[in-house]
Amino acid sequence: MISGDVLSAIAMTEPGAGSDLAAMRTTAQRTDKGYVINGAKVFITNGLQAELVIVCAKTDPGAGAKGVSLFLVDASLPGFSRGKGIRKIGQHASDTAELFFSDLVVPHDALLGEEGRGFAYLMQELPRERLGVGAQAVGATEGVLAITLDYVQQRKAFGQRVADFQNTRFKLAEAGRAWRWQKPI
């Protein structure tokens, strides 16, 4: 993954539970042959193309967040399947999909870190991911506002620029106030 030779995904979000890791229903039961994973994930970025998936699963369903463990899952293993791609409004550079695990057996050494520490590991890294998502959202919003300002200055309707209509100016002022936009129209 570090070299970029393997495309990966992280499978946390579940149908009906969202990203509430304590409420997840995907399980990984330890057996003599390895861990047997059963469950489903949804809204998984790179889910259609990932060759290696970090799967969050409950190894101790009665322990809440302390029962969550992480597993490195080879997407070519029997019992791993993908649903169809999920269409999104934005972020088209990466796919999003459902993933399914049906009696998927992974070896014991597929456990990432220590059993029951998956939630703690995720909480260490998720704030950094959320910061990136927030920065991306701010940049996208500012970009859309800039495109909108350019458009309303160039577009004419009823013999005047759209930017000169009172309601357009009200709406742009509201948007500009929300984003502290300094560009005059």
In whole angstroms, give the CA distance from residue 166 to residue 30. 66
Residues with catalytic roles: 129
Question: In 10 A of CB 115, how many CB atoms?
Answer: 18
Residue 110 DSSP code: G
User: Which of 74, 32, 38 shows the shortest CA–CA distance to 53?
Assistant: 74
Q: Which residues contact 24 (CB under 8 A, 6 or more apart)?
A: 12, 14, 17, 39, 56, 57, 58, 68
